[in-house]
Each structure stands twice: as structure tokens, then as C-alpha cells.
Structure 1
Amino acid sequence: MASESNEVVKEFRLFKVYKDGRIELFRPPVEKIPPSDDPDTGVRSKDVVISLDPPVSARIFLPRVSGPARKLPLLLYIHGGGFCLQSAFSRTYHDFVSTVAAEAGAIAVSVEYGLFPARPIPACYEDSWAALRWVAGHAGGDGAEPWLNEHADFGRVFIGGDSAGGNIPHTLAVQVGSIGLPRGVKVVGVVLVHPFFGGTDDDEMWLYACQTNRGLTDPRLKPAKEDLARLGCEKVLVFVAEKDHLREVGVEYCEELKKSGWRGSVELVENVGEDHCFHLRDPKYDKAVELKDKIVSFIKHN
């Protein structure tokens, strides 16, 4: 029995599956840090509960506000981690999103969504959509969160993320284009950093982690032309890295988006000589700063 329970029946990039059904992640859970006020940048942060069942929460970042009448663009950020790792509350994502909020002068809402295996896919999509709907529910100025009521410009909403978190915003933009958001809420742009889409060895990992899927043609994995055509935003900014195994699917996404009939504009930026999500490992590295600055500019000037 012991030998049978230790028999591995499936092994993917981020986890393996034993014959008895156990799943072992190859990386330990990340340490989560509390929200805090940054004395250097002036960015304040706090955590909010979006839903108790299912459990969805978020960390909100508020930069310095020059005056009570000034409204700030809003960024909904989706962290990466292969749908099974990382957290909006990790040091990595706290620091990155806080920096973007400070430099772009934007309120940022970083989503803590359900991770596989505790909450299999599609929890990540459903939780992120719930977070976007929760944010949009403040457009009338009477939502649960005062920072959003008082400071957010709901005519300048952006959705962004990296890796797995670069996949999820696509599905959110499709839902915005097909289902819509409350009056007064406009998604201007979407930022996809080294996004995961179908067409690599990781496809089988996504299919295993997703309880309900349509196989390799699932539109969340392999974006459908009709979905691309109705993205509910005006602009899309996509980053790919030259040495990343996801480079080709990111490039293909841009090409298919241009051919789909969608009326917005898409820009592709290639990080030459770099690997997957390099910018998170050393934020002070010159090319990491360039990537971050491009996101900041995208938010500030749209």
C-alpha cells in the first residue's frame, strides 16, 4: 500500500499527482505580508473581503491624492503562479503593485483568488470576475469601500496580470464585452505580461487543474476568434520574453487579435534576452524597470 500511494501517475511543470489522488506542489506556499503604509512613496494599502462563499479577497493600494476632487485611474491586478501558486499578499506582488500604483497615480486592487488544488480552475476566473464586479459596484459612490467611492475614476479602468494572471484578464475582457458592467464603468485597457495560453507543454497541466473544460479548444486556454472580436476594452498591451516558453503563444494572441475584427489597438513588446517574469525577480534591474515604466505609461496616458 505504501509503495502504491507513492506512485506518481502524472507530473507537470508545477505539481505531480500520486496514484492515491494526492497532489504535491513543487514549490512551498509563499509567505504573506500584511498591508502597510509606505512612507517613501506615500502609498497606503489595506485588505478587503469581496466574498465569503466562495472566499475572495483583495489588497487595495491608494497612492498620494493631491486633492479630494481628483479622481484616479483604477487597476485590477491578477497575480501569476500557474493557477496554483503565489498570492496578492506576497512580498513580490505587494511591492510590484504598490510601485505601479505610486508611479501611475492609480488605485490598484490586487485580487486574492482561489488556487488549485484547494479550489480547482475555474475558481480563478470566477473569483476575478467577482472582484471586477465588486469594484464596478462602487461606480455610484455608494459601495462598501470608501477609497473606491471617493477616489476612483470608473471611466478609466485597467485590468492587468502576468503569466497565469496574464491569461485571466483576457477572459474578464471577454465577459465585459459580452455581459457588460454597470453604467459609468469603462475598461480602457488590458495589460498581459508573459501570458499563458494554449499551445505549450503546460496545456495538459491546465486541463488537469480545470474541473470543467472543453479540451484544447477551451476558449480560456485557446482564445476563440469570436471572443477576441468582442473584447470589452479599447487597448491591449502584451509583453513577451525572448527566452520564455510562452513567447510564441503571446505573439500568436496578438496576431489573432488583430485578425479577429476587434476595433481596438494592440501593442506587442518583446523583452529581448529575458526569461519568464524576470521583472519580478529583480525589480531594480534596468529591463525590469523598463517593463514597469511601460505599464505605468499605459495607465497614465490612456
Structure 2
Amino acid sequence: MGSLPTDEIAHDFPPFFRVYKDGRVERFHNYVYVHPSDNCNTGVQSKDVNNNSARLYLPKITGKNKKHDKYLQSIVTKDNVVALSVNYRLAPKHLLPMCYDDSWSVIRWTSLHIEMCDHFILTKEIVMEPWLKDHVNFSRVFLAGKSAGANIVHDMVVLASASENRLGEGFKITAIALIHPFFGNYEVDEYCSFVFPECEGLNVLRLNLTAHLRLLSSLICRKVMIFTAEKDFLRERSLTYYDALKKSGWNGEVKIMETQGEYHVFHLLEPNCEKAGLLMKRLVEFFNEKI
């Protein structure tokens, strides 16, 4: 017989998760899987693509009829955009840099749709997605994420900005939105060491970028929008990133919006409140700005 579960805690990282000595993981925010669907109220269609590594959202098209899922449904409806949500693997079961690798893989797969070449279409490992081929303007790509997802968004644009990682002619990341972004402290703390055991040397760049202005100055996107909240425990790191980007010599435009009296990712916890509505309104406006 196996040993009984124990309540002894091995690692405790609120507000993210707790790991017990018997290996169990308790997440403080449980995300319930929502099946893809055709929403009869909004007209938004969704489906899982690329071996379920991402979910694709298509806005209502003439002649066709959980929190993250509902939020993306709302953005797609209000902004009339095609949204692709990356289903990256989560720590602590899958330690970093897995989430970065998964996200980059989806972006690379998406960029291949520009080629429209027969050898891509017929390759078993690369399955082309008609919704992307038929409805996406690849010269106007926005990346957006909240909390750790915002950190990943920044890393993706850094990778895309490196000459050896260009995504091909015609695929242009024009702007990024970072909502309550998670960046590390000036030192690698206990939490970062646990979820990212290889975060020594250059890999620290993914958690603490403010000391590396050269990378910030070379970002290929033209605009950055940062969202903060007054009572967010990560607020100061967002402001530090904002200041570092402005001082880096990057020739793009960076803006910041702070929501007073609110906490980290409040817009997902209370999506119907007035301030969450204002955040979404500003996000939709950002997507519609001229680049």
C-alpha cells in the first residue's frame, strides 16, 4: 500500500501555489477547462489547434453564425480580432523554461502560415489552420498577456527581435500589451529558483530585464502598453520596467495605465466591475491604434 497523504508543506508560494512533501500541488487559483464552442450570443467561434497547444478565437463573420475564455470572447467581439491563446504547460509540474518554449513554438507555427507552401501544408508535423490563413493580417500582430503571461509576451518579442530568430517576411509583431506583468526582483528569489532551477547566468534576463537595456532598445515592436493596479504586489516591478524601457534608447512608444484601488488581475476576478470594463476598453483602443 502507498503512503497516506501528508499535510506537511515543502514549498509555499502564495498567491500562486503550495507544494506538499508528498508531491501534491495545491493551486490557489484553479482554472477550469472550458471546451471550445460556437457562441450563439456573440457569434465568436473557438477551437483548439496545433495538437491542442493553443485555442483560436474567430470573431463573427457575415454569413456565419471560466474566466480566460470569457475574457477572450469579449475582446474578440469588441475588437473584431482573431485571438490565439497559448496553452503552455504550467509550473511546478513543468518547470521553466517550458512555458517560454511552448509559447515560442506556437508563434513559430503561426508564422508558417504566411508561406502557404505545399511542403508545409503536406508535412505531418505542421498542420495548416484555415482560420489563420483566411482571416489573419500577419503584418499587424499584437501580443498580450497578464501576470506571468505578460513576462512571456516580453520574452517572445525579445526572441523575435533577435536576428537569428526572425519569424519571416510579412509576420510583424507591431505592439505588445503587458497586464500586471510578473518580473523578478533584482536578485533571484526562492520562488524563481524553485520554478526556474536553471535561471543562472543569461536566463535571468527573462525575469529581470531592467539591467539589460540593450535588449530593451532593440525591440521590434513599435508600441508597448503596460497596465498596473495601485494595490498590485507587482506594481513596483511594472514601474521599474516602464522606466527602464524609456531610458533604453528604444525608439517606440510606451504608455502606462494604472487602476486605482485594485489588486493583481482584478479584471479576471471581477470581470463585470466598472474598472474592469475601463481596462478592457483601453485594451481594445490600444489594439485599434494606428501603428
Measured against the shorter chain, the TM-score band is 0.7 to 0.9
Counterpart Cα distance in 2 of 1:191 and 1:137: 23
* Counterpart for residue 57 of structure 1: 53
SS for the counterpart of 1:138 is helix
* C-alpha contact (below 8 Å) 1:207/1:215 kept by paired residues: no
Residue 118 of structure 1 is aligned with which of 93, 98, 104?
A: 93
TM-score by length of structure 1 reads: 0.83
Structure 2 counterpart of 1:275, one-letter code: Y
Aligned residue in 1 for 2:33: 32
Q: Is contact 1:61-1:98 (8 Å) kept?
A: yes
Count of residue pairs the alignment pairs up: 273
- Give the CA deviation at 1:301: 2.2
Partner deviation per Cα, 1:166-198 (whole Å, 9 max, x = no partner):
111010010011021111000011000000011
Superposition TM-score, scaled by structure 2 size:
0.86
Greater RCO (CA < 8 Å, at least 6 residues apart): 1
Cα distance per residue 1:41-95 (max 9 Å; x no partner): 2111111125xxxxx6111000023599xxxxxxxxxxxxxxxxxxxxxx21111
Q: Please state whether the residue corresponding to 2:53 is helix, strand or coil.
A: strand
Q: Is the alpha carbon distance of 1:203 and 1:106 closer, same or farther for their aligned partners in structure 2, counting shifts above 3 Å?
A: farther
Contact kept, 8 Å, 1:175 with 1:232, in 2: the verdict is: no
What is the aligned-residue RMSD (CA, Å)?
2.5
Tell whether the 8 Å contact from 2:19 to 2:26 is kept in structure 1 after alignment.
Answer: no
Q: Look up the match of 2:276.
A: 288
In the TM superposition, 1:222-233 aligns within 5 A as 222-223=208-209, 224-233=212-221
Unaligned runs of 5+ in 1: 51-55, 69-90
Of 164, 171, 174, the residue aligned with 2:155 is: 171
The answer for the alignment partner of 1:8 in structure 2 is 9
Cα shift at 1:25: 2.2
- Structure 1 residues 67 and 234: CA distance shift in structure 2, 3 A: farther
1:12 is displaced (CA, Å) by 1.7
Q: 1:123 to 1:289 in 2, by over 3 A?
A: same
Point out where structure 2 has 5 or more consecutive residues left out of the alignment.
Answer: 122-127
Match of 1:136 in 2: 111
Q: Which amino acid in structure 2 is aligned with residue 32 of structure 1?
A: Y
1:86-235 matches, cutoff 5 A: 91-141=66-116, 144-178=128-162, 179-199=165-185, 203-214=189-200, 218-223=204-209, 224-235=212-223
In structure 2, C-alpha distance between the alignment counterparts of 1:203 and 1:172, rounded to whole Å: 23
SS in 2 for 1:137: helix
Amino acid at match of 2:26: L
Provide the residue aligned with 1:76 in structure 2.
none
- Opposite residue 253 of structure 1, the aligned amino acid is Y
Corresponding residue number in structure 1 for 2:48: 47
